[in-house]
Structure 1
């Protein structure tokens, strides 16, 4: 079980707080077959046989979770020394701090509450009266005071744990939180630069982390070494030399770089992450022989998530799962980051979903998974707070139970099911035959995007001739969506007829660049003016919805002055939209202020 990184320490009844240890995590097995196994599966038994001797003295078979630490006389951790441990010295002592008990006498304790596991652990360890295996003590409820103590004693930080938490093997949990006094980051050693001046062996380590399936360059580290550690590390680096560069980015270099196979993991201290994703002022802390390269990712609260979390909306509780699953492999964007985006944008998105039936496209394995569409839901498997409504489907000749847009909890419930994009009807379940909007979908095919911009501006012009106000958003995929609010005054047949008539007007004015032909073969190298979404049961991706496209693009409402030749759909992503909506006035603020009068509009345009 692993802790989630958190920044702000809190006091909480029902939580315990303990010292964050700075060494190698290891599972200990007691009794005559005692052993120490790292998280990576490395057997530490021979290297740290001093601990093994003590584990053998425990006559009850047990499985412990703890951390191997080297401390000096003052009790301060010495991380680099644990890698070179060859026995205790006058100033350096090996200790095994234990903080959890997973099994006792053949009984699996992982589903027992933490406080009960720790009580059993304390009863098991304290009678040993040893300075080698130490029960890691805790305090109850007061994290802030322990954090101050950690600062004064030079600890790495503290760990907060829900006292009722169960033990989830191999999972990162938000029931265990780590609070660091100093920023640290694990990194893959991708190469080294040649030494300069009087320095021997190498100048700096070239570092990377995984983002999805690819390694990304994060900077060079040239401090934190002495001559002994330079030599020892260099001997390991030489064995991994290769001609192949592990990442695409250009590394900072003033001397020649020797590239390495991506097999060694180190840990560095650093001041901060720069805006371009590099480490500022990294300092070498030590090698992490206990860590796998594929698990080396950016360690920030936004990136290093719990594997599952319970989100509370008043009395409503939603459990979201598999948060570290990669949904965008190239970019390394996880399901948890997707959920965080929708959570931060819920206030903007929910009004566009209110009372709308939702057609779900579920892609539980990310954007490379074509997924499946789901409209009809089994209400017996839904939480009681999810609203559904049976709506008749003529094509299936039966009622279909749709999830109805209602609130942020419903939105995140669908995202947790694997809905990367959110697709509501244009009408509400209350008036399912009367759309609230007429929508023109501009879909460019193998043409410069500037032609789509030209078509959008022409569409606005045509609507304005009919005294109708329109609003525009990017599709987040290839094109642009133009909305006109109707207030559910007309049925779908009439709205579709109006949309088709308007599409033809636009096409007549731009015959060389647009088409209203549905068949792609008949509209090559044209902007398709799609009016067919204006039918009962059809959907259009909602404003601020993410799209399952490279870069995690977002369907973004625009001001009309932003619709120009510089417009790029790739500029609007989950990375910048939450900040954009804080910074600018809402482009769709007046979307539903005045319902359009389509009958008057037709008279007006035909009269001219």
Structure 2
């Protein structure tokens, strides 16, 4: 028996055939696939400003968000011609095309393909090797929460401004905070990762009891982790205005520093509330890319730390062994060995 289908008329006059429009994607809220498609079309302008024109990975859920999922990077068979693609090189040396979303119909198509979470690269399609954003993930560890990340963020802002960068904020859609700095695409991913490590180490010096750059979980304690490996090539985080696959239907949402100071509640930003928020206050990230900075000062700090004996940090396990990288073995096991 064929599944129920409806036709959505999208901005620009395109039409999209949406299958199973009444399938519930968020059981706790009752949000259907149709409602999710309507959400992404409603927020398409700020969504594309933040996530368009770049490689993007699609996190797809064939059933509900509490079910199984998988990541999709290659454009699947039958992808319409209004969904763009770009050839990407990965850390393994492999190359293959990746989806690029450049218009509202393309985002709605992704929802038709059961996408819930959108994971954009930090680089653009016209130069996939050099990021246009320095991204720092403030990741609360067990025993800490969003309020701890919110307390750390203003000090990180001071650090980044001292390095000549202007930080912008968004909620992760979960417990953390994401800090983005627009940068000129003058350096490749490994350099930008080193810049993130340098900023993280400087923040850790200023807040040693609240911040850690320790890669191994057993060493982090009840602190906010600076997840520097999110700055690697092909490592992504949920994009601005992307829904998260969480029961409450939360959205990774750009916020202002004033909102953070006033005590923002990240659980208030959902697929049902964010459209009204945009109507009322607009997009806090509208001008994010207006004045990109440079990572030169942070790379000077990286070299300073190298000269002081602080070396390379561990890479994720799926990465090839990198120059100068310490052994990939957790400290407690290394001691036993």
Q: Determine helix, strand or coil for the equivalent of 1:561.
A: helix
Find the counterpart in structure 2 of residue 457 from structure 1: 154
- Distance in 2, matches of 1:441 and 1:469, equals 16
Per-residue CA deviation, residues 327-350 of structure 1 (Å, 9 max, x unaligned), is 111221111111111111111101
Displacement of 1:400: 1.5
Find the counterpart in structure 2 of residue 435 from structure 1: 131
Contact 2:199 2:298 in 1 (8 A): no
Per-residue CA deviation, residues 515-567 of structure 1 (Å, 9 max, x unaligned), is 11222232232211111111211222111111111211111111101113732
- Distance in 1, matches of 2:39 and 2:252, equals 13
1:588–1:170 Cα change, 3 Å: closer
Find the counterpart in structure 1 of residue 61 from structure 2: 363
1:96-115 matches, within 5 Å, as none
- Distance in 1, matches of 2:227 and 2:162, equals 20
Q: Which structure: greater helix fraction?
A: 2
Contact 2:197 2:302 in 1 (8 A): no
Q: Determine helix, strand or coil for the equivalent of 2:137.
A: strand
Q: Segments of 4+ in structure 1 off by > 4 A?
A: 168-171, 600-607
Could you list the runs of 5+ residues in structure 1 that have no partner in the other structure? 1-167, 172-306
- Distance in 1, matches of 2:253 and 2:129, equals 27
1:406-425 matches, within 5 Å, as 406-425=102-121
Within the alignment, does 1:492 sit opposite 2:189 as a pair?
A: yes
Could you list the runs of 5+ residues in structure 2 that have no partner in the other structure? 305-337
Q: Which structure: greater strand fraction?
A: 1
Find the counterpart in structure 2 of residue 597 from structure 1: 294
Give the alignment's TM-score, normalised by structure 1.
0.47
Contact 1:364 1:371 in 2 (8 A): yes
Aligned with residue 34 of structure 2, among 329, 336, 353: 336
Find the counterpart in structure 1 of residue 6 from structure 2: 308
Per-residue CA deviation, residues 498-526 of structure 1 (Å, 9 max, x unaligned), is 10010111111111122112222322322
Contact 1:426 1:540 in 2 (8 A): no
Displacement of 1:408: 0.8
Specify which structure has the bigger relative contact order, considering alpha-carbon pairs within 8 angstroms and separated by 6 or more residues.
Answer: 2
Give the alignment's TM-score, normalised by structure 2.
0.83
1:603–1:521 Cα change, 3 Å: closer
- Distance in 1, matches of 2:146 and 2:234, equals 29
User: Which structure has the larger Rg?
Assistant: 1
Displacement of 1:384: 2.4
Find the counterpart in structure 1 of residue 200 from structure 2: 503
Aligned with residue 347 of structure 1, among 45, 62, 66: 45
- Distance in 1, matches of 2:293 and 2:128, equals 19
